């Protein structure tokens, strides 16, 4: 099962702009049913799904013994979305089955914990284009966020999100051990201040997955700038949502994966 896809992108550096084929890691949903009832959805890179399910159910205290469960793939789509059913005798189900899912299995992925694949659908009109944004301003905003990452400077273990308005003025910056948490904190801060409608740029310190793109879409923020990589599903949804998605923004370079017309290249 393929774990990467080739996407066309624009690579921008100080002296060049070139169209390239970029290799991205695949991000796709895996729905886990227990005894034919939906239990959860996790976002993963395809491959080793059976091992993933066994490890997750072990960590969740649902099934500790290999021979107590039978794993069957019941649905597999071309986009790598998959449904797996796990048969476990009811007398062998651990205490975790009766409890809510623990943070242990959902801390790194905000979409994890959805119960069915249909829950992943996001409806709404694409965001309106925001044209001729300055490339140089992207680097300046990133530098400003880096300078304000106080927790990261002393720990090296936190992520950050910063949101700027159309004039590249900082509206909020928050840090957290989780990327998605930092985004939620920023959006929540702007809601409390009643200025969410002014959010134009969302800068994140790590990689961008589907969940971060959907959060930006709900907040109507049209440009996402990431220090690190973007997943395949993040690019797919950014194109659909009308979001300009930029990755690998560092050292006066960036890779533009969707809606490059927003930028003055």
- Residues with catalytic annotation? 109
First and final CA of the chain: distance in angstroms? 37
Cα separations (Å) of 250 from 17, 71, 188?
A: 15, 43, 27
CA distance 222 to 242: 7
31 is in an annotated binding site: no
217 is in an annotated binding site: no
Tally helices (H) and strands (E) across the chain: 6, 12
248 is in an annotated binding site: yes
252 is in an annotated binding site: yes
Question: Angle formed by the axes of helices 232-241 and 210-218, to 10°?
Answer: 20
Tokens representing 264? Answer: 């003055």
Tokens representing 150? Answer: 């106080």
Neighbours of 178 (CB within 10 A): 18
Tokens representing 140? Answer: 């300046």
101 is in an annotated binding site: no
249 is in an annotated binding site: yes
Known binding residues: 248-253
């Amino acid at each position: 099962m393929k774990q990467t896809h080739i996407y066309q992108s624009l690579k921008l550096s100080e002296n060049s702009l070139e169209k390239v084929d970029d290799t991205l890691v695949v991000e796709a949903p895996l729905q886990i049913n227990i005894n034919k009832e939906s239990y959860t959805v996790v976002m993963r890179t395809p491959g080793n799904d059976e091992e993933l399910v066994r490890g997750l159910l072990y960590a969740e205290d649902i099934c500790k013994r290999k021979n107590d469960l039978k794993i069957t793939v019941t649905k597999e789509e071309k986009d790598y979305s998959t449904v797996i059913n796990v048969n476990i005798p009811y007398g062998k189900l651990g205490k975790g089955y009766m409890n809510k899912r623990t943070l242990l299995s959902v801390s790194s992925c905000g979409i994890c914990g959805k119960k069915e694949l249909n829950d992943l659908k996001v409806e709404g009109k694409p965001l309106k284009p925001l044209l001729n944004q300055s490339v140089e301003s992207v680097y300046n905003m990133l530098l400003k966020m880096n300078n304000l990452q106080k927790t990261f400077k002393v720990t090296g273990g936190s992520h950050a999100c910063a949101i700027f308005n159309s004039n590249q003025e900082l509206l909020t910056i928050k840090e957290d051990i989780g990327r998605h948490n930092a985004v939620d904190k920023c959006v929540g801060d702007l809601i409390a201040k009643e200025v969410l409608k002014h959010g134009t740029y969302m800068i994140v310190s790590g990689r961008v997955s589907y969940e971060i793109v959907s959060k930006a879409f709900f907040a109507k923020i049209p440009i996402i700038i990431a220090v690190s990589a973007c997943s395949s599903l993040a690019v797919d949804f950014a194109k659909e949502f009308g979001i300009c998605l930029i990755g690998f923004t560092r050292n006066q370079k960036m890779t533009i994966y969707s809606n490059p017309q927003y930028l003055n290249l």
